[in-house]
């Protein structure tokens, strides 16, 4: 189970986009990949289709390894762990501060 979820604010900690913050658009836990908005943008040639009627060269966010992103608490990247609260639900907690995220 991953500690990164859709709509989380994360920062890239490795690779060509190192240091860039963004919001998680999608998560693929089986492949261990995430797509972050504005990060790892590549140009792709696409044919005209029903969704993209003009086609041409488009910029598209490509997946990056989930291990290369860290969850942001405020503007600071933090490590997380899962703990159980009183109601037996699993909660993400910052390792450094102990606050629930």
Choose between 59 and 81: higher pLDDT.
Answer: 59
Query: Phi and psi dihedrals of 66, rounded to 5?
Result: -65, -25
Domains and CATH numbers, the chain: 9-94 (2.30.30.30)
* pLDDT above 90 for 25: yes
| Adjacency order of strands within the sheet including 69-73 | 64-65, 33-36, 21-28, 9-12, 69-73, 76-78
Q: What is the CB neighbour count within 10 angstroms for residue 46? A: 13
Mean pLDDT of the region 15-37: 92
Q: What is the CB neighbour count within 10 angstroms for residue 59? A: 8
Mean pLDDT of the region 52-63: 90
The pLDDT tens digits of the residues spanning 67-81 come to 999 988 888 888 888
Mean pLDDT of the region 48-53: 88
Q: What is the CB neighbour count within 10 angstroms for residue 99? A: 10
The pTM of this model reads 0.80
């Amino acid at each position: 189970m991953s500690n990164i979820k859709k709509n989380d604010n994360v920062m890239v900690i490795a690779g060509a986009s190192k240091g860039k913050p963004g919001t998680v658009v999608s998560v693929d836990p089986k492949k261990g990949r995430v797509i972050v908005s504005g990060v790892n943008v590549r140009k792709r040639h696409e044919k005209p289709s029903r969704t993209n009627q003009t086609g041409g060269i488009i910029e598209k966010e490509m997946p990056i390894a989930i291990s290369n992103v860290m969850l942001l608490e405020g503007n600071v990247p933090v490590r997380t762990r899962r703990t159980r609260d009183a109601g037996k639900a699993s909660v993400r907690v910052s390792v450094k501060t102990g606050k629930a995220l």
